[in-house]
Structure 1
Amino acid sequence: MNRDWTKLKQSSHGIPTYDSLIPYILQVLKNGEEATNKVIKKRLFEFLQVPDKILNQKYPEYPNSEGILYNRVSFALSDLYKAGALERPRRAVYQITDLGKGLLDKYGDSLTKKDLEAQPEYIQYRKELEIRNQRNEGSLAVSDHDESTKIDIKKLINTMNNEVAIELLDKIRNSDPFFFEHMVVKLLEKMGYSGENGHAKVTSRSNDGGIDGVINQDPLGTSTVYIQAKRYKEDNTVGRSAIQSFYGALAGINADRGVFITTSNYSKGAQEFAKNQGIVLIDGIQLTDLMLKYRVGVEVADQYTTFQIDSDYFEIEDLI
């Protein structure tokens, strides 16, 4: 396998492009060990014998940031993760998957971004991102006096948050079912379902009777919301029968309010039945959108402030 960085495809600055780094990241992780972002970059640069003069090149507008090549490795890691060639056991920690090993064996250093984009997980990722972006289009409406750059910024932020939401949903799908039940109850609490003096709980695993969580909205329990949470893969659509079973569980305890939450989606029949019976359905995309909004399982990465002229300030009577 090539070990000379000068043979990689390079940008106009003479720095390897991020996609040219893809096979070499798999190469330095092929032993199967978990490695941090920092360790991966160190191994990669040593493997390709990248000199300091290249590593030290930075974007002029960001002189205190990591070098350009460091930044490009992060982009390559992201694409490998989207394709399922890498997994993230923990934050900023990566590990090669069986798919990643297979791609490395098949393509070697000729592995390209196009090969990654052809993988089922990458295709599903792009499909889900498109759905999320379409759902968010309505929130991008602006008045006539707003500049087009504001729309572009909002679209960029939405896309970045949607990428985080996709990763978040993947982590939830791979979590313990009992953890998932606790998580959705916590989310509904953060949303205010428990009221000022109410309380929420997850039901016993052994005898939940089709009810995974209960939220009493007042201290006496006169207003109660019942929850069912199903942690499914994206292709496991929740059908009408599952919602009917939940309705039966609600009827068995004379309940009139239920929330069904899944990490996948619902069939048309399930949606119609739920609507007629007053059951609220939350799918995987809605779930993670709510988690971002109410900051459950996520934290703020960056915040930016924009300004506009306060025209009232320049009125003479306000200064006297």
Structure 2
Amino acid sequence: MTGLPTWEQFIHPVLAVLSTGETLPVHELRHKVTTLCALSDSQKTAKLSSGQPVAENRITWAVSYLNRVDAIERPSRGQYRITEIGHTLLKQYPVAITEKDLRALAKPDDNWWVRKGATEIIEDTAVPKANRLSDCTALDPIEMIEEGVERINSDVAAELLSMIQSREPAFFEYVVMDLLIAMGYGGTHGKGTVTRLTNDGGIDGIIDQDALGLSKIYIQAKRYGSTNSVHRPEVQSFVGALSGKADGGLFITTSSFSSGAVQYAQEVPSRIILIDGKRLTQLMIAYGIGVETKETVKVVRIDEDYFA
């Protein structure tokens, strides 16, 4: 893999390929990027231990993070095109674009880039040390794996929200039901009900809390864009809809809750649980909703008892 660009070095070529304004499927985009970078056959076929081509993996990371800062957009599944932000980046950085340049465009709620002061190891351990963006020698191998998994989960979480927000509101309500059933609610047979959309201002779903259905959880699900927060009046409306039905409920959104909404939920006598987009995607990943396990890493150590 001598001379194979890092994922960061693929950022500029990805934008350059898309700069024509075409909408390209991801496989064609990867092909054009490898052609533009004049990768050799050995570089194109180099694989990780998992069997995935290294070049494809790194290009995919570049695409993912460009999409994360809205430099490119995905008009449909697996299709990408450049945005005005992407064109601006190419004009501002005509030779190369670094992760630091992208991090400057990170959204305020992008917890990975906002929280991390420096970049840790990225997609694979095959990146030469001289090409890494920061020194990871302070981390032991287990910490490096955990950092990598955290980064992957953060990226998947952002994409999960984007995909949910691109679907119709009714789909989000079924996602919520699937998640709660996966978490063990809905009784022995996973019994949940999504109410008619005409009731959208109050209760969107009902699910059993126990096996006999003696106690129920009432749910409100709001599929909002990341900039559209849920405010106090909407939570108040939900509490009003619960009157005479239950002492509490679950309010889930793909966006966030305003400070007024959070304060009201804490002070109201009814027990109201608020789950924002960040917590929602964490739960979806933890319970396998909308995601699948791509690879399992097996970590071994010496069995001292064997040699005793």
TM-score by length of 2: 0.77
Tell me by how many angstroms 1:20 deviates: 4.2
Supply the distance in 2 between the matched residues of 1:64 and 1:184 (Cα, whole angstroms).
Answer: 34
Q: CA RMSD in A?
A: 3.4
Structure 1 residues 295 and 89, CA gap change in structure 2 (3 angstroms): farther
For 1:32-83, what per-residue CA distance to the aligned partner results, in whole angstroms no more than 9, with x for missing partners?
A: 44433331132233345x1535635747x7596525x444423322332222
Q: Determine the structure 2 residue equivalent to 1:307.
A: 300
**For 2:201 and 2:6, how far apart are their aligned partners in 1?**
56
SS at match of 2:193: strand
The alignment status of 1:257 with 2:248, answered yes or no, reads yes
Deviation at 1:197, TM superposition (A): 4.2
State whether residues 8 and 97 of structure 2, in contact with CA within 8 Å, keep that contact through their aligned partners in structure 1. Answer: yes
Distance 2:27 2:56 in 1: 9
**Number of residues of Structure 1 aligned to a counterpart in Structure 2:** 284
The verdict on how the C-alpha distance between 1:65 and 1:196 changes in structure 2, with shifts beyond 3 A counting, is closer
Instruction: Go from structure 1 to structure 2 and tell me whether the alpha carbon gap of 1:71 and 1:279 turns closer, same or farther (over 3 Å shift).
Output: closer
Percent identity between the aligned chains? 38
- TM-score, normalisation: structure 1: 0.74
Task: Report the AA paired with residue 234 of structure 1.
Answer: S
Structure 1 residue aligned with 2:97, among 103, 109, 112? 112
Q: Given residue 151 of structure 1, which amino acid in structure 2 is its aligned partner?
A: E
Match in the other structure for 2:135? none
* Aligned pairs (5 A) from 1:56-67: 56=44, 58=46, 62=49, 65-66=52-53
Matched, 1:280 2:280: no
- Structure-2 residue corresponding to 1:214: 206
Which amino acid letter does the alignment assign opposite residue 112 of structure 2? Answer: L
Q: Does residue 1:227 correspond to 2:219, yes or no?
A: yes
1:285 Cα deviation after fit: 1.2
- C-alpha distance in structure 1 between counterparts of 2:204 and 2:50, whole Å: 52
Q: Indicate the SS of the match to 1:206.
A: helix
Give 1:296 shift: 0.4
Question: Could you say what secondary structure the match of 1:112 adopts?
Answer: coil
CA displacement at 1:304 relative to structure 2: 1.4
1:183 partner SS: helix
Runs of at least 5 residues in structure 2 that lack an aligned partner in the other structure: 117-138
**Secondary structure of the corresponding residue to residue 226 of structure 1:** strand
Superposed displacement of residue 150, structure 1: 2.7
Deviation at 1:279, TM superposition (A): 0.8
Matched, 1:45 2:34: yes
- SS of 2:245's partner is coil
Question: Which one of the candidate residues 64, 70, 73 is aligned to 1:84?
Answer: 70
From 279, 288, 291, the equivalent of 2:284 is 291
Report if the CA contact (8 A) 1:216-1:223 is conserved: yes
Q: Does 1:236 align with 2:228?
A: yes
Q: Within 5 Å, which residues of 2 pair with 1:179-218?
A: 179-197=171-189, 199-208=191-200, 210-217=202-209
Kindly indicate whether residue 240 of structure 2 is the aligned counterpart of residue 248 of structure 1. Answer: yes
Q: Deviations over 1:264-293 (max 9, x none)?
A: 222333223223421111111111111011
The CA distance in 1 between the partners of 2:44 and 2:80, in whole Å, is: 27
Give the counterpart letter for 2:169 in structure 1. Answer: P
| 1:72-127 Cα deviation digits (max 9, x unpaired) | 42332233222212234566x231143256336744844623543333xx3446x4
Q: 1:55 maps to what in 2? A: 43
Q: Unpaired runs of 5+ in structure 1?
A: 1-10, 134-146, 316-320
Task: Name the structure with the higher helix share.
Answer: 1
**Aligned partner of residue 198 in structure 2, secondary structure:** coil
